[in-house]
Amino acid sequence: MASYIKDYVEVNKYTRPDLKLLGVKGIVIHWTATPNASAKNERNYFNGTCIAEKRYASAHIFVDRKEARLIIPLDEVAYHANDKPSKIAKFKATASYYKGGNANLTTIGVEMCVEKNGTIHADTIARAEKVVAELCKQFKLTEKDIYRHYDITGKNCPTPFVSDSSKFTSFKAGVKKLLGSKSTGSKTSTASKSSDSSKKMVIVKAAQLYTYNSADWNDKGLIVKKGEAFTIKRELTVKGSKMYQLKSGLYITANTKYVSVK
Ligand SMILES: [Zn+2]
Protein backbone atom coordinates (compact mmCIF):
# COMPACT_ATOMS: atom_id res chain seq x y z
CA MET A 1 0.00 0.00 0.00
CA ALA A 2 1.28 3.40 -0.88
CA SER A 3 2.23 5.62 2.03
CA TYR A 4 0.14 8.43 0.55
CA ILE A 5 -3.26 8.92 -1.04
CA LYS A 6 -3.77 10.52 -4.44
CA ASP A 7 -5.77 13.72 -4.31
CA TYR A 8 -4.76 15.72 -7.37
CA VAL A 9 -5.48 19.39 -7.80
CA GLU A 10 -6.95 20.49 -11.15
CA VAL A 11 -4.56 21.42 -13.95
CA ASN A 12 -3.97 25.19 -13.85
CA LYS A 13 -1.05 27.45 -14.61
CA TYR A 14 -0.35 28.53 -11.03
CA THR A 15 -0.09 25.28 -9.08
CA ARG A 16 -0.25 22.39 -11.58
CA PRO A 17 1.13 23.60 -14.90
CA ASP A 18 0.97 20.16 -16.59
CA LEU A 19 4.68 20.20 -17.53
CA LYS A 20 6.66 16.95 -17.60
CA LEU A 21 9.54 16.34 -15.21
CA LEU A 22 12.78 15.53 -17.04
CA GLY A 23 13.36 12.73 -14.55
CA VAL A 24 13.67 12.44 -10.79
CA LYS A 25 17.21 13.03 -9.55
CA GLY A 26 16.35 13.97 -5.99
CA ILE A 27 13.75 14.60 -3.32
CA VAL A 28 13.42 18.06 -1.81
CA ILE A 29 12.10 18.41 1.75
CA HIS A 30 10.06 21.45 2.80
CA TRP A 31 7.78 22.57 5.56
CA THR A 32 4.59 24.50 4.92
CA ALA A 33 5.39 27.20 7.51
CA THR A 34 1.62 27.42 8.09
CA PRO A 35 0.72 26.41 11.67
CA ASN A 36 -2.30 24.15 12.13
CA ALA A 37 -2.87 23.43 8.41
CA SER A 38 -3.36 19.74 7.59
CA ALA A 39 -2.36 17.98 4.36
CA LYS A 40 -5.99 18.25 3.28
CA ASN A 41 -6.07 21.98 4.08
CA GLU A 42 -2.92 22.45 1.99
CA ARG A 43 -4.36 20.47 -0.91
CA ASN A 44 -7.47 22.62 -0.86
CA TYR A 45 -5.37 25.79 -0.73
CA PHE A 46 -3.40 24.76 -3.82
CA ASN A 47 -6.66 23.86 -5.58
CA GLY A 48 -8.36 27.11 -4.59
CA THR A 49 -7.00 30.20 -2.89
CA CYS A 50 -3.50 29.89 -4.34
CA ILE A 51 -4.93 29.83 -7.87
CA ALA A 52 -7.38 32.67 -7.13
CA GLU A 53 -4.51 34.76 -5.81
CA LYS A 54 -2.48 33.99 -8.95
CA ARG A 55 0.46 32.68 -6.94
CA TYR A 56 2.87 30.27 -8.62
CA ALA A 57 3.56 27.61 -5.97
CA SER A 58 2.98 23.94 -5.10
CA ALA A 59 4.66 20.68 -4.13
CA HIS A 60 3.92 17.05 -4.90
CA ILE A 61 3.15 15.55 -1.51
CA PHE A 62 1.90 17.04 1.77
CA VAL A 63 2.44 15.08 4.96
CA ASP A 64 0.79 15.59 8.35
CA ARG A 65 0.48 13.51 11.52
CA LYS A 66 -2.34 11.36 10.14
CA GLU A 67 -1.84 11.05 6.39
CA ALA A 68 0.01 12.10 3.26
CA ARG A 69 -1.60 13.45 0.09
CA LEU A 70 -0.09 13.41 -3.38
CA ILE A 71 -1.55 16.50 -5.05
CA ILE A 72 0.56 16.66 -8.25
CA PRO A 73 1.32 13.48 -10.27
CA LEU A 74 4.91 12.28 -9.81
CA ASP A 75 5.80 12.80 -13.47
CA GLU A 76 4.71 16.44 -13.48
CA VAL A 77 6.42 19.65 -12.40
CA ALA A 78 5.45 21.30 -9.12
CA TYR A 79 6.64 24.83 -8.29
CA HIS A 80 8.59 24.21 -5.09
CA ALA A 81 12.34 24.73 -5.38
CA ASN A 82 13.25 27.31 -7.98
CA ASP A 83 12.93 30.59 -6.09
CA LYS A 84 16.62 30.95 -6.96
CA PRO A 85 18.76 28.96 -9.44
CA SER A 86 19.91 25.61 -8.08
CA LYS A 87 23.12 25.61 -6.03
CA ILE A 88 23.37 21.86 -6.64
CA ALA A 89 24.86 21.25 -10.09
CA LYS A 90 23.00 18.01 -10.82
CA PHE A 91 19.62 19.73 -10.50
CA LYS A 92 20.39 22.48 -13.00
CA ALA A 93 18.07 21.91 -15.92
CA THR A 94 16.16 23.66 -18.59
CA ALA A 95 13.45 22.62 -21.02
CA SER A 96 11.91 24.30 -24.04
CA TYR A 97 8.64 24.51 -22.12
CA TYR A 98 10.23 25.69 -18.85
CA LYS A 99 13.46 27.60 -19.33
CA GLY A 100 15.71 27.44 -16.30
CA GLY A 101 13.30 25.19 -14.44
CA ASN A 102 16.23 23.74 -12.50
CA ALA A 103 15.27 21.63 -9.49
CA ASN A 104 11.59 21.98 -10.39
CA LEU A 105 12.32 19.93 -13.53
CA THR A 106 14.41 17.29 -11.77
CA THR A 107 13.06 16.71 -8.26
CA ILE A 108 9.97 15.84 -6.25
CA GLY A 109 8.89 18.19 -3.47
CA VAL A 110 7.67 16.81 -0.15
CA GLU A 111 6.13 19.23 2.37
CA MET A 112 5.82 18.57 6.10
CA CYS A 113 2.82 20.20 7.79
CA VAL A 114 3.21 22.29 10.94
CA GLU A 115 1.49 22.03 14.34
CA LYS A 116 -0.39 24.85 16.07
CA ASN A 117 2.72 25.66 18.10
CA GLY A 118 4.92 26.00 15.02
CA THR A 119 6.79 22.71 15.34
CA ILE A 120 6.77 19.62 13.12
CA HIS A 121 5.26 16.65 14.98
CA ALA A 122 7.43 13.53 15.36
CA ASP A 123 4.66 11.49 13.67
CA THR A 124 4.74 13.85 10.68
CA ILE A 125 8.51 13.41 10.39
CA ALA A 126 8.19 9.62 10.68
CA ARG A 127 5.48 9.58 8.00
CA ALA A 128 7.59 11.83 5.74
CA GLU A 129 10.51 9.39 6.11
CA LYS A 130 8.22 6.57 4.94
CA VAL A 131 6.95 8.58 1.98
CA VAL A 132 10.47 9.58 0.96
CA ALA A 133 11.76 6.01 1.32
CA GLU A 134 8.97 4.86 -0.97
CA LEU A 135 9.90 7.54 -3.52
CA CYS A 136 13.59 6.56 -3.27
CA LYS A 137 12.66 2.97 -4.10
CA GLN A 138 10.45 3.99 -6.99
CA PHE A 139 13.03 6.30 -8.57
CA LYS A 140 16.14 4.29 -7.61
CA LEU A 141 17.51 6.96 -5.30
CA THR A 142 19.22 6.73 -1.91
CA GLU A 143 19.22 8.87 1.23
CA LYS A 144 22.05 10.81 -0.37
CA ASP A 145 19.61 12.16 -2.94
CA ILE A 146 17.50 13.87 -0.27
CA TYR A 147 17.97 17.62 0.05
CA ARG A 148 16.47 20.43 2.05
CA HIS A 149 14.95 23.31 0.11
CA TYR A 150 17.71 25.26 1.88
CA ASP A 151 20.41 23.18 0.16
CA ILE A 152 19.00 23.97 -3.28
CA THR A 153 18.27 27.70 -3.13
CA GLY A 154 19.33 28.90 0.33
CA LYS A 155 15.73 29.45 1.47
CA ASN A 156 15.23 28.91 5.21
CA CYS A 157 13.11 25.76 4.67
CA PRO A 158 12.31 23.53 6.44
CA THR A 159 13.35 25.94 9.22
CA PRO A 160 13.66 23.31 12.01
CA PHE A 161 16.02 21.29 9.75
CA VAL A 162 18.05 24.41 8.92
CA SER A 163 18.44 25.76 12.46
CA ASP A 164 19.41 22.25 13.61
CA SER A 165 20.90 20.24 10.76
CA SER A 166 21.25 17.14 12.97
CA LYS A 167 17.46 16.82 12.55
CA PHE A 168 17.98 16.53 8.82
CA THR A 169 20.81 14.05 9.34
CA SER A 170 18.55 11.85 11.44
CA PHE A 171 15.77 12.19 8.84
CA LYS A 172 18.13 10.80 6.18
CA ALA A 173 19.27 8.07 8.57
CA GLY A 174 15.60 7.16 9.11
CA VAL A 175 15.05 6.85 5.36
CA LYS A 176 18.23 4.83 4.98
CA LYS A 177 17.00 2.42 7.64
CA LEU A 178 13.72 1.98 5.79
CA LEU A 179 15.60 1.31 2.57
CA GLY A 180 17.63 -1.45 4.20
CA SER A 181 21.38 -1.83 4.07
CA LYS A 182 21.58 -1.58 0.30
CA SER A 183 23.07 1.90 0.23
CA THR A 184 25.81 3.15 2.51
CA GLY A 185 27.43 6.54 2.62
CA SER A 186 30.91 5.13 2.29
CA LYS A 187 30.49 2.66 -0.55
CA THR A 188 31.29 4.99 -3.44
CA SER A 189 34.11 6.64 -1.54
CA THR A 190 35.92 3.44 -0.63
CA ALA A 191 35.36 2.14 -4.13
CA SER A 192 37.22 5.14 -5.50
CA LYS A 193 40.32 4.11 -3.54
CA SER A 194 41.73 1.79 -6.17
CA SER A 195 40.81 3.97 -9.12
CA ASP A 196 42.51 6.98 -7.62
CA SER A 197 45.43 5.63 -5.61
CA SER A 198 47.68 8.59 -6.44
CA LYS A 199 45.50 10.79 -4.22
CA LYS A 200 45.82 10.96 -0.44
CA MET A 201 43.26 9.22 1.71
CA VAL A 202 41.79 10.31 5.01
CA ILE A 203 40.97 7.49 7.44
CA VAL A 204 38.45 7.86 10.26
CA LYS A 205 40.01 7.27 13.71
CA ALA A 206 37.03 8.22 15.87
CA ALA A 207 34.28 5.64 16.48
CA GLN A 208 31.83 7.89 14.66
CA LEU A 209 32.37 11.16 12.88
CA TYR A 210 30.15 13.69 11.15
CA THR A 211 30.74 14.68 7.57
CA TYR A 212 29.60 18.11 6.35
CA ASN A 213 27.54 18.87 3.27
CA SER A 214 29.44 22.09 2.59
CA ALA A 215 32.47 23.99 3.88
CA ASP A 216 30.52 24.94 6.99
CA TRP A 217 30.91 23.35 10.43
CA ASN A 218 27.17 23.79 11.02
CA ASP A 219 26.13 21.92 7.87
CA LYS A 220 26.39 18.39 9.27
CA GLY A 221 25.88 15.48 6.90
CA LEU A 222 26.04 11.71 7.16
CA ILE A 223 27.93 9.97 9.95
CA VAL A 224 30.97 7.87 9.00
CA LYS A 225 32.61 5.19 11.10
CA LYS A 226 36.06 4.18 12.33
CA GLY A 227 38.22 2.63 9.61
CA GLU A 228 36.36 4.13 6.68
CA ALA A 229 38.65 5.80 4.16
CA PHE A 230 37.95 8.58 1.70
CA THR A 231 39.88 10.23 -1.10
CA ILE A 232 40.91 13.81 -0.35
CA LYS A 233 40.28 16.39 -3.01
CA ARG A 234 41.72 19.39 -1.17
CA GLU A 235 42.42 20.85 2.24
CA LEU A 236 40.85 24.10 3.40
CA THR A 237 40.55 26.18 6.56
CA VAL A 238 37.10 27.06 7.83
CA LYS A 239 36.77 29.39 10.82
CA GLY A 240 40.34 28.64 11.85
CA SER A 241 40.07 24.82 11.67
CA LYS A 242 41.24 22.62 8.85
CA MET A 243 38.87 20.40 6.91
CA TYR A 244 39.19 18.23 3.84
CA GLN A 245 36.92 18.35 0.87
CA LEU A 246 36.48 14.75 -0.25
CA LYS A 247 36.27 13.51 -3.78
CA SER A 248 32.65 12.58 -3.08
CA GLY A 249 31.90 16.27 -2.46
CA LEU A 250 31.44 15.89 1.29
CA TYR A 251 33.68 17.57 3.85
CA ILE A 252 35.36 16.12 6.94
CA THR A 253 37.55 17.44 9.75
CA ALA A 254 41.33 17.33 9.24
CA ASN A 255 41.94 17.24 13.00
CA THR A 256 44.44 14.39 13.61
CA LYS A 257 42.61 13.60 16.85
CA TYR A 258 39.76 12.20 14.72
CA VAL A 259 41.35 11.22 11.41
CA SER A 260 44.66 10.12 9.95
CA VAL A 261 46.03 10.51 6.46
CA LYS A 262 47.99 8.19 4.26
ZN1 LIG B 1 10.46 24.98 0.88
Domain ranges of the chain: 5-179, 187-261
Of the options 3.30.450, 2.30.30, 1.20.120, 2.60.40, the CATH number for the domain spanning 187-261 = 2.30.30
Percent of the chain residues topping a pLDDT of 90: 74
Report pLDDT digits (tens) over 179-234: 995 544 444 443 333 334 457 899 999 988 898 888 889 888 888 888 888 888 88
CA of 42 to the centre of ligand 1 (A): 14
CA of 250 to the centre of ligand 1 (A): 23
CA of 108 to the centre of ligand 1 (A): 12
**5-179: CATH topology:** Lysozyme-like (3.40.80)
Res 17: pLDDT: 98
Task: State the average pLDDT over residues 24-36.
Answer: 98
Query: What ranges in 58-186 are assigned the alpha helix state H?
Result: 103-106, 122-138, 149-153, 159-163, 165-179
Report pLDDT digits (tens) over 139-169: 999 999 999 999 999 999 999 999 999 999 9
Phi/psi of residue 177, each to 5°? -60, -45
CA of 32 to the centre of ligand 1 (A): 7
CA of 137 to the centre of ligand 1 (A): 23
CA of 84 to the centre of ligand 1 (A): 12
| DSSP symbol at 47 | T
CA of 128 to the centre of ligand 1 (A): 14
When comparing pLDDT for 227 and 14, which is higher? 14
Hey, do 5-179 and 187-261 end up sharing a CATH topology, with the first three levels equal?
no
